[in-house]
Amino acid sequence: MIVKSLSDKRFIIQALINGKSGNLLIDTGASISLINSNVVKKYNIKLGSVFNGSVINASGDSMEIRHTQNLIVDIEGIHICQFYATDLTNIISSIKKETDIDICGIIGLAQIKSSEMQIIAEDNIIKLGYWQ
């Protein structure tokens, strides 16, 4: 499956989040995938317990994250799981200023690998799943 990025400044793709449309940033520097805690009601996401560990953001600040229980992200038939919820307000604002696109989450490296995602920077496309 081939998907074109919504921006030429950042890799942002449209996905179905629990059946509703939303935009996600693809971030190879992120260890985990995150959904903005401010959209859990919109996407009918159930939150679980607080993650028992340390998560540090790109600014070096510690983040509190929560497990999600029923979050299914679908990109053109490819399902991506294991997202955590946290407040992404500052990141969303920064991405919006740069790209004029609202995102609601971040796909991190583990999910990039598990979905067999390949980023073709010069063409601004993302290849997903098993492809030839």
Residue 51 has pLDDT above 50, yes or no: yes
* Coil, helix or strand at residue 35: strand
Taking only the tens place, the pLDDT of each residue in 57-66 is 777 888 889 9
Average pLDDT over residues 13-37: 96
Q: How far apart are CA 18 and CA 15, in angstroms?
A: 9
In this predicted structure, what is the pLDDT of residue 132?
47
> CA geometry: angle at 89 spanning 114 and 34, to 5°?
15
Pairing of the two strands 83-86 and 105-107: unpaired
Taking only the tens place, the pLDDT of each residue in 66-91 is 999 999 999 988 899 899 999 999 99
Q: If you ran DSSP here, which 8-state letter would residue 81 be given?
A: -
In this predicted structure, what is the pLDDT of residue 56?
81
